[in-house]
Amino acid sequence: MSLVQHVLYFLVLSFAIVVMSAFYSEPDDGPALHSIPRRYVVFVAACGLVAGIMLLLERLFASVS
């Protein structure tokens, strides 16, 4: 499976997580819907940051090459 496919699968699942957490956090539909784009960007960016840190740590401390 290619990296692009992995990223697409991740983005789909992220969307579901963000939508459900937005509805859980906001009691009213309007604010919940409006908060989804911002939450989505923050979620994806934060996951990207964690992935980047993990790759960096792997490169620095866990490389077997």
Partner 1 sequence: MADTRAPERRGDPNVAVLLTWFLPGAGHLYLGRVGIGLLGLLVVEGLYALGWWLSGGRTFEFLDPELRGPLATLLTPEAGNLGAMVFQLRVAGFGALEPVPFPDWVAIGSLLSALSGVLNVFLCAWAHLDARSRRVGGAGPHPIVALSAAWLFPGLGHWLQGRRLRAGLVCAVLLGLFAAGTWLAAGTNLSRERHFYYWSGQFLLGAPALLSELVSGRPPVTGEIPGVDVGLLYACMAGLLNVLAMLDVYGVGERRWLEEPAVAASEAVA
Closest approach of partner 1 to the CB of residue 27, in Å: 7
Q: Which stretch binds partner 1 (CB under 8 A): 9-17, 37-45, 50-58?
A: 9-17
Report angle CA 51, 18, 13 to the nearest 5 degrees. Answer: 60
Per CB under 8 A, contacts with partner 1 among 35-64 are none
Q: How many residues interact with partner 1 (rule CB under 8 A)?
A: 15
The Cα–Cα gap between 14 and 48 comes to: 12
Report the SS3 class of residue 9. helix
**Closer CB to partner 1, residue 30 or residue 60?**
30
